[in-house]
Amino acid sequence: MTDGQKIGLFFGVLIVGGFGALFYFVLYPAFEAFDSGNPSQSAETKAAGDPGAVDEELIDHLQAGRYREAYELMASGYRDTVPFEDFRRVASQNAYLQSRRSIGCYRVVTRAKKVQVRECIIDADAGTASATLHYTLEDKRWRMTGITIGGLPALPAAAAPAE
């Protein structure tokens, strides 16, 4: 091995090690701080069950025309700012929710063990699209706060809380 090859190997190892250290000591802790982990870590979230069951139940209600039952699965802050008739009108016209065959989630982020966002793929007669499902823990039960499909709200957006 020539001196040039040894120097190249040395710097190659140094660069790879530097990136490894950067990831381990800087990026990994940052990701851990953002994603607070499994929602079942606290007794309250464990008792609340799987947030994914809420969206399945909500969409089942929508597909069966049971809009009031679906609306009741939304968080109270949502129901306080979005009238039922607006919810019913928009939900009844959303082709993805009305024809959903399956939802497969590939990323879950939980914040403070009380808010969860799930990034998913929805497969429906209307097509296949990305979906983001939003939840909050309320009265020891997961409730929906919104759904976006293809980057657009699938349900009427709730008004921002007053400051």
In this predicted model, what pLDDT tens digit does every residue of 91-111 receive, in sequence order? 999 999 999 999 999 999 988
Q: What is the pLDDT of residue 14?
A: 60
**Whether the predicted pLDDT of 129 surpasses 60:** yes
Pick the closest to residue 82 from 67, 94, 98, 97 (CA basis). 67
- Is the pLDDT reported for residue 115 higher than 80? yes
Domain covering 39-153 assigned CATH 3.10.450.50 in the classification: yes
**How much is the average pLDDT of 35-55?**
67
- pLDDT at res. 34: 43
Give the global pTM. 0.69
Q: Smallest Cα–Cα separation from 131: which of 109, 149, 104?
A: 149
Query: Average pLDDT for residues 129-144, to the nearest whole number?
Result: 94
